């Protein structure tokens, strides 16, 4: 939420800031702004709406010989998305500017105090308080003033600060909002996320909470915010490249990422399972065999799409490992009465590794003695630095706001984990483990083969459905969470009201919604609950619901129920969630695209929800 980028070096800064913001726009896109230092002054440009509007405003300044600046793309928390509320914000003199991601919780009292002292505020944002507070503390030493100001602030922040009197210095700090520093030749960078840095450097330093950085041309210092102590931090080299965060000829990032799923799943499983023996190797879980044998319960914690992956994993782990699994939405987990201790393994699932509620959840569980394992896509993210063990999904950068490849690679990681726990606790027969392990690996090729055909069929199919007002998704067992995921995908990118239900729940209320205008997508693979789901489908048909069925190739009964059937190859039933997700994603994508929606940047949303 909100993207920050900053640069101090020798190159022209405006193109670097714009490119960085373009790569961070998925974090928020209701306004954007930048500031650069030029001829003794800070020049600021801001625009409401997408980054393209800012680009128009700064077009004439691209070639300006300035090499220090900061930029921001906003997802509004305090104050409407207007130009006045767009970052950067300045102090009274206009000589000090701040960009910020996070929420200053005590901004109201600070604003009252600063107003009484004569500070004049120009926006409704919490961020502007920071600019005036730093101004108030400033007595010739910017670093000291930032530290003093931050000591008075409650809440979360990642900030970048420039002062006209120190033209070659950029001060950055973080607390509970992500911030990464890039180290280049004669240049230093800051960014909210790695993709902004990839065209320039892959050498990065992850700042931790209550740390700040003082960046100059090719030199930097990292300090504790609290007492100014200098810190030595390791430089990590990122193995993503700049091209991975480009559309590569696809119309949208979401479509590209849907098509990247075979590779993403392969990256997740590669080197972690020996196909000939079915032996799973996951030393990164950070638990030895004794510790794994002692686990009495597992708590899975996540938000949104990642929570749906957790719901699928509950079916797998309980079936194959026999450990009771609780699944929580992180925003509930973090505040409810938690019965968690050292006998419980808490597993967070997160694409970004920065989701505020999930982070707070694992911190609470950790404080109660639980071991923390995280399943995460972003190397070096906050969650991975705080967990005791990490299973990286290695899906590559996910830029589309609607999560796709992150989800299926989370499923692959969770299935691997299930096999691993079953192996260590000896709850899963070795031959079955081998069969499932090989089947998991072959999912990559299978999905790759099915994708083009499915896309073609779905493009035709959606002509009947793209203007629907509502949509229901139903499934049973391990596919029930896929119904939830399908509904979430559709509503977030097409704005069609959609709900997912366990097929058996329909009779307990939702069936009242069904009439000749209600499309219902049902997941009906040939599994052990097939007959039950078919009965539910018949009930929908009897009430004239418009049926779209996704089922197993060769199941002709489905074609007798509706003409709109998508067939998928038969796989081991436990692996159906990986396969059945694909048409649900494509259906949502094609409907949203047909409706002319902004697929990669749906309204009101942002990727990486770093505020609660």
Q: Are 79 and 123 in contact (CB under 8 A)?
A: yes
479 is a site residue for ligand F6R (CB under 6 A): no
Helices and strands in the chain: count of H runs, count of E runs:
18, 27
Q: Are 336 and 384 in contact (CB under 8 A)?
A: no
Q: Which stretch binds ligand F6R (CB under 6 A): 29-37, 227-235, 299-307, 534-542?
A: 299-307
262 is a site residue for ligand F6R (CB under 6 A): no
346 is a site residue for ligand F6R (CB under 6 A): no
- Judged by CB under 6 A, the residue of 85, 127, 346, 350 near ligand F6R is 350
* Region at 94 (left for phi over 0; alpha for psi -120 to 50; beta for the rest): left
- Judged by CB under 6 A, the residue of 304, 437, 577, 583 near ligand F6R is 304
24 is a site residue for ligand F6R (CB under 6 A): no
Q: Which DSSP helix (H) or strand (E) runs through 97?
A: strand 96-104
Q: Are 4 and 71 in contact (CB under 8 A)?
A: yes
3 state DSSP class of 404: coil
Number of shown-chain residues binding ligand F6R (CB under 6 A):
15
- Judged by CB under 6 A, the residue of 306, 409, 593, 601 near ligand F6R is 306
Give the nearer residue to ligand F6R in terms of CB position, either 303 or 547: 303
351 is a site residue for ligand F6R (CB under 6 A): yes
Q: Closest Cα to residue 99, out of 121, 120, 130?
A: 130
- 288: exposed, middle or buried (C-beta count within 10 Å: 0-12, 13-18, 19+)? exposed
384 is a site residue for ligand F6R (CB under 6 A): no
Give the nearer residue to ligand F6R in terms of CB position, either 403 or 576: 403
Q: Work out the number of other CB atoms within 10 angstroms of the CB of residue 523.
A: 29
Give the nearer residue to ligand F6R in terms of CB position, either 136 or 357: 357
Shortest separation between residue 180's beta carbon and ligand F6R, angstroms:
16
Give the nearer residue to ligand F6R in terms of CB position, either 181 or 402: 402
Shortest separation between residue 5's beta carbon and ligand F6R, angstroms:
20
Instruction: Check if 464 is active-site.
Output: no
End-to-end Cα spacing for the chain = 11
Token digits of residue 284: 């990164």
Residue 339 CB contacts under 8 Å (≥ 6 apart), including other chains: none
Tell me which of 2, 137, 376, 597 is the catalytic residue: 2
Q: Are 437 and 445 in contact (CB under 8 A)?
A: no
Shortest separation between residue 389's beta carbon and ligand F6R, angstroms:
17
Q: Which stretch binds ligand F6R (CB under 6 A): 349-357, 446-454, 516-524, 561-569?
A: 349-357
Shortest separation between residue 474's beta carbon and ligand F6R, angstroms:
20
- 112: exposed, middle or buried (C-beta count within 10 Å: 0-12, 13-18, 19+)? exposed
175 is a site residue for ligand F6R (CB under 6 A): no
User: Which residue's C-beta sits nearest to ligand F6R?
Assistant: 304
Q: Are 66 and 13 in contact (CB under 8 A)?
A: yes
Token digits of residue 54: 């800012």
142 is a site residue for ligand F6R (CB under 6 A): no
CA distance linking residue 408 with residue 299, whole number of Å: 20
Q: Which stretch binds ligand F6R (CB under 6 A): 44-52, 61-69, 230-238, 345-353?
A: 345-353
CA distance linking residue 450 with residue 259, whole number of Å: 10
3 state DSSP class of 211: strand
CA distance linking residue 74 with residue 51, whole number of Å: 10
- Judged by CB under 6 A, the residue of 267, 268, 305, 585 near ligand F6R is 305
Shortest separation between residue 599's beta carbon and ligand F6R, angstroms:
11
- Judged by CB under 6 A, the residue of 192, 263, 331, 358 near ligand F6R is 358
3 state DSSP class of 128: helix
- Judged by CB under 6 A, the residue of 127, 355, 418, 494 near ligand F6R is 355
Q: Which of residues 395-414 bind ligand F6R (CB under 6 A)?
A: 402-403
Give the nearer residue to ligand F6R in terms of CB position, either 145 or 347: 347
609 is a site residue for ligand F6R (CB under 6 A): yes
303 is a site residue for ligand F6R (CB under 6 A): yes
360 is a site residue for ligand F6R (CB under 6 A): no
Shortest separation between residue 502's beta carbon and ligand F6R, angstroms:
20
Residue 542 CB contacts under 8 Å (≥ 6 apart), including other chains: none
- 117: exposed, middle or buried (C-beta count within 10 Å: 0-12, 13-18, 19+)? exposed
Q: Closest Cα to residue 348, out of 245, 279, 417?
A: 417
125 is a site residue for ligand F6R (CB under 6 A): no
Q: Which of residues 480-509 bind ligand F6R (CB under 6 A)?
A: 488, 492
Give the nearer residue to ligand F6R in terms of CB position, either 127 or 374: 374
Shortest separation between residue 548's beta carbon and ligand F6R, angstroms:
21
261 is a site residue for ligand F6R (CB under 6 A): no
CA distance linking residue 92 with residue 69, whole number of Å: 19
Q: Which of residues 539-568 bind ligand F6R (CB under 6 A)?
A: none
Q: Which stretch binds ligand F6R (CB under 6 A): 23-31, 136-144, 166-174, 302-310?
A: 302-310
Q: Which DSSP helix (H) or strand (E) runs through 13?
A: helix 13-24
Give alpha helix (H) positions in 372-461.
382-386, 405-424, 430-461
Shortest separation between residue 208's beta carbon and ligand F6R, angstroms:
19
Residue 483 CB contacts under 8 Å (≥ 6 apart), including other chains: 473, 474, 475, 500, 501, 502, 503, 521, 523
Instruction: Check if 48 is active-site.
Output: no
Q: Which stretch binds ligand F6R (CB under 6 A): 134-142, 350-358, 387-395, 550-558?
A: 350-358
Residues at the site binding ligand F6R, with contacts judged by CB under 6 A: 303-306, 350-352, 355, 358, 402-403, 488, 492, 608-609
Residues labelled as active-site residues: 2, 607
């Amino acid at each position: 939420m909100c993207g920050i980028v900053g640069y101090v070096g020798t190159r022209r800064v405006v193109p670097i800031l714009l490119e960085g913001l373009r790569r961070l726009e998925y974090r928020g896109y209701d306004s954007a702004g930048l500031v650069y230092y030029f001829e003794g002054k800070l020049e600021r440009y801001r625009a409401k709406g997408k980054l393209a509007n800012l680009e128009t405003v700064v077009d004439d300044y691209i070639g300006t010989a300035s090499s220090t600046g900061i930029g921001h793309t906003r997802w509004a928390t305090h104050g409407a998305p207007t130009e006045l509320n767009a970052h950067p914000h300045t102090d009274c003199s206009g000589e000090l500017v701040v960009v910020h991601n996070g929420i200053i919780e005590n901004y109201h009292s600070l604003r009252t105090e600063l107003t009484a002292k004569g500070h004049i505020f120009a926006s409704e944002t919490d961020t502007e308080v920071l600019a005036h507070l730093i101004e108030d503390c400033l007595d010739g030493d910017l670093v000291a003033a930032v530290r003093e100001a931050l000591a008075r602030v409650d809440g979360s922040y990642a900030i970048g600060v420039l002062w006209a009197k120190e033209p070659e210095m950029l001060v950055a700090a973080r607390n509970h909002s992500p911030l990464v520093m890039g180290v280049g030749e004669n240049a230093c960078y800051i960014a909210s996320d790695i993709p902004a840095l990839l065209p320039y450097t892959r050498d990065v330093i992850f700042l931790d909470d209550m740390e700040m950085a003082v960046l100059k041309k090719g030199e930097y210092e990292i300090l504790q915010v609290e007492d100014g102590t200098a810190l030595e931090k390791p430089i990590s080299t990122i193995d993503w490249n700049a091209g991975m965060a480009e559309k590569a000829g696809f119309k949208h990032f979401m479509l590209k990422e849907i098509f990247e799923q075979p590779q993403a799943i392969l990256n997740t499983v590669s080197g972690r399972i020996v196909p000939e023996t079915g032996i799973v190797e996951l030393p990164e879980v950070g638990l030895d065999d004794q510790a794994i044998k002692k686990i009495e319960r597992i708590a899975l914690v996540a938000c949104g799409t990642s929570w749906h992956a957790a719901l699928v994993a509950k079916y797998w782990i309980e079936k194959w490992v026999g450990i009771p699994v609780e699944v929580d939405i992180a925003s509930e987990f973090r505040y409810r009465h938690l019965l968690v201790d050292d006998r419980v393994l808490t597993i967070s699932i997160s694409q970004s590794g920065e989701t505020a509620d999930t982070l707070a959840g694992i911190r609470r569980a950790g404080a109660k003695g639980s071991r923390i394992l995280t399943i995460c896509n972003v190397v070096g993210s906050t969650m991975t630095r705080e967990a005791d063990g990490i299973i990286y999904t290695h899906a590559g950068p996910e830029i589309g706001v609607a999560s796709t490849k992150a989800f299926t690679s989370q499923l692959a990681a969770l299935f691997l984990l299930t096999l691993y726990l079953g192996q260590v606790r000896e709850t899963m027969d070795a031959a079955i483990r081998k069969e499932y392990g090989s089947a998991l690996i072959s999912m990559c090729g299978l999905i790759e083969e099915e994708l083009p055909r499915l896309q073609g069929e779905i493009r035709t199919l959606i002509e009947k459905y793209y203007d629907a007002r509502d949509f229901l998704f139903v499934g049973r067992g391990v596919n029930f969470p896929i119904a939830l995921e399908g509904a979430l995908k559709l509503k977030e990118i097409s704005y069609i009201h959609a709900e997912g239900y366990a097929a058996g729940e329909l009779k307990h209320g939702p069936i009242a919604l069904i009439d000749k205008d209600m499309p219902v997508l049902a997941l009906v693979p040939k599994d052990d609950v097939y007959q039950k789901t078919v009965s539910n489908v018949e009930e929908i048909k009897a009430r004239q619901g418009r049926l779209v069925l996704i089922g197993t190739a060769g199941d002709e009964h489905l074609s007798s129920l509706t003409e709109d059937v998508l067939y998928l190859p038969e796989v081991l039933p436990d692996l159906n969630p990986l396969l059945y997700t694909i048409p649900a994603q494509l259906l949502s994508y094609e409907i949203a695209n047909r409706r002319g929606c902004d697929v990669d940047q749906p309204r009101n949303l942002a990727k990486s929800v770093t505020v609660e």
